[in-house]
Amino acid sequence: MLSAERKREWDDQGFFIIRNFAPIEECRAIHTRVIEICRLNAAGKSTPNVFVLPEKKPNPLARNPEDSVGKVFRLHRDPIFKKLVEDPEVVGLVSDLIGPDLDCFVSQFIFKNHGALGQPWHQDSYYFAFNTRPQIGIWLAVTEATLDNGCLHVMPVSHLEPVHEHVPDRRPHAQYGYTEIVDYDTSKSMPVLMQPGDLLVFHSHLMHRSTDNLSGGIRAAMVWHYARSGTIDQTREKLCHRNPAHDFMKIERHRATED
Ligand X SMILES: O=C(O)CCC(=O)C(=O)O
What does the binding site for ligand X look like in residue numbers (CB under 6 A)? 110, 112, 118-119, 124, 152, 208, 210, 221, 223
Give the C-alpha separation, 165 to 190, whole Å. 22
Where residue 23 falls (left for φ over 0; alpha for ψ -120 to 50; beta otherwise) is beta
**At its nearest, how many Å lie between ligand X and the CB of residue 219?**
7
Q: What SS3 state is found at 11?
A: helix
Beta carbon nearer to ligand X, 156 or 259: 156
Beta carbon nearer to ligand X, 91 or 116: 116
Q: What SS3 state is found at 165?
A: coil
**At its nearest, how many Å lie between ligand X and the CB of residue 65?**
20
Beta carbon nearer to ligand X, 98 or 152: 152
Of all helices (H) and strands (E), which one includes residue 225? strand 221-228
Beta carbon nearer to ligand X, 40 or 163: 163
Give the C-alpha separation, 164 to 98, whole Å. 22
Which residue has the CB atom at the shortest distance from ligand X?
Answer: 210
Give the C-alpha separation, 100 to 251, whole Å. 10
Cα angle vertex 211, ends 191, 35, to 5°? 105
- Helical axes 88-98 vs 4-13, angle rounded to 10°: 60
**At its nearest, how many Å lie between ligand X and the CB of residue 203?**
12
Of all helices (H) and strands (E), which one includes residue 210? strand 208-210
Beta carbon nearer to ligand X, 124 or 233: 124
Length of the chain: 259
**At its nearest, how many Å lie between ligand X and the CB of residue 118?**
6
Beta carbon nearer to ligand X, 10 or 127: 127
Give the C-alpha separation, 201 to 180, whole Å. 21
**At its nearest, how many Å lie between ligand X and the CB of residue 152?**
6
**At its nearest, how many Å lie between ligand X and the CB of residue 173?**
14
